[in-house]
Structure 1
Amino acid sequence: MTSKMVIRQPQPVMEARDSEEWASGTCDCFDDVPQCCLAFWCCPCFACKTSKEYGEDLCLPLLEIFGCCIPPITMSMRASMRQRYGIKGTMCMDCACATFCTSCTWCQMSREIKSRKIQIVLLNAKNT
């Protein structure tokens, strides 16, 4: 008689979030002071870091240097984040935030990424 060992592969455990709102407001910079300081003093560096954390190209925000009045990358990243996380809002609001509060908008997106991180829990394999 032979014994057979069955091993189950670890499965990711996803945390669902029911909120259709941003985890923090655009001007809630004191929720994460170090990040807001970096965004204030070196917004291009902070935008690149946040873009990379979101899964986009690291240098994508640098394309805004060639933009006109409305920062297109900031606006599109904010709209993309709203779409991905199911957050209510409008393109008009994304445009206003990107145009008048670029640093604060990048901070808000960074905080959102942190708050929406999906934790993966590894399960132990057991013999049966």
Structure 2
Amino acid sequence: IMSKMVINQPQPVMYAQESDEWSSGICDCCDDVPECCCGFWCCPCFACKTSRNYGEPLCLPLLEIFSGMIPAITMSMRVSMRQRYGIRGTMCRDCVLATFCPACSWCQISREMKRRKIPIVMVAAKNT
């Protein structure tokens, strides 16, 4: 049995930073009307789809029914999105937008993922 020795480890692919701002505003629903209609009329379904596309568990947003007054999942997705793409902002603003505009927040997250076009790669280790 011959084995190969790894000399160079694979490096993460670096993407050019587009901007440190959101590519669309919180109320820019006219930028993607079909998605915003889905987000407005069926926010739980839209949030689940967006969560899955982001690389998180499909039903993660449904846990928000247990979070009380502050929608912790929506807020944490906004914070994660800002960190991943280097978008300026504060947790306080994320909290306010997630609390008072959850559908708009999910729509903004979805638009940002589409515009940045940065693929999410899930890596699963298997024992053979």
2:99 corresponding residue in structure 1: 99
2:38 corresponding residue in structure 1: 38
> Runs of 4 or more off by more than 4 Å in structure 1?
none
1:69 corresponding residue in structure 2: 69
Q: Give the secondary structure class of the aligned counterpart of 1:18.
A: coil
**Post-superposition offset of 1:67:** 1.6
List runs of 5+ in structure 1 lacking aligned partners.
1-12, 120-128
Cα distance in structure 1, aligned partners of 2:115 and 2:59: 23
Q: Partner letter of residue 110 of structure 1?
A: S
**Post-superposition offset of 1:66:** 1.1
Q: Give the secondary structure class of the aligned counterpart of 2:18.
A: coil
Cα distance in structure 1, aligned partners of 2:81 and 2:73: 12
Q: Partner letter of residue 30 of structure 1?
A: C
Cα distance in structure 2, aligned partners of 1:118 and 1:108: 15
Taking only aligned residues, the RMSD between alpha carbons, in angstroms, comes to 1.6
**Post-superposition offset of 1:14:** 5.9
Q: Describe how 1:43-122 pairs up with structure 2 within 5 A.
A: 43-118=43-118
List runs of 5+ in structure 2 lacking aligned partners.
1-12, 120-128
**Post-superposition offset of 1:20:** 0.2
- Give the structure with higher Rg (CA): 1
Cα distance in structure 2, aligned partners of 1:98 and 1:21: 18
Sequence identity of aligned pairs in percent? 73
Cα distance in structure 2, aligned partners of 1:33 and 1:109: 14
Larger RCO: Structure 1 or Structure 2 (Cα < 8 Å, ≥ 6 residues apart)?
1
**Post-superposition offset of 1:16:** 1.1
What's the TM-score once normalised by structure 1's chain length?
0.80
Cα distance in structure 1, aligned partners of 2:116 and 2:90: 20
Question: 1:14·1:118 contact (CA, 8 Å) conserved in 2?
Answer: no
What's the TM-score once normalised by structure 2's chain length?
0.80
Cα distance in structure 2, aligned partners of 1:115 and 1:14: 17
**Post-superposition offset of 1:118:** 3.3
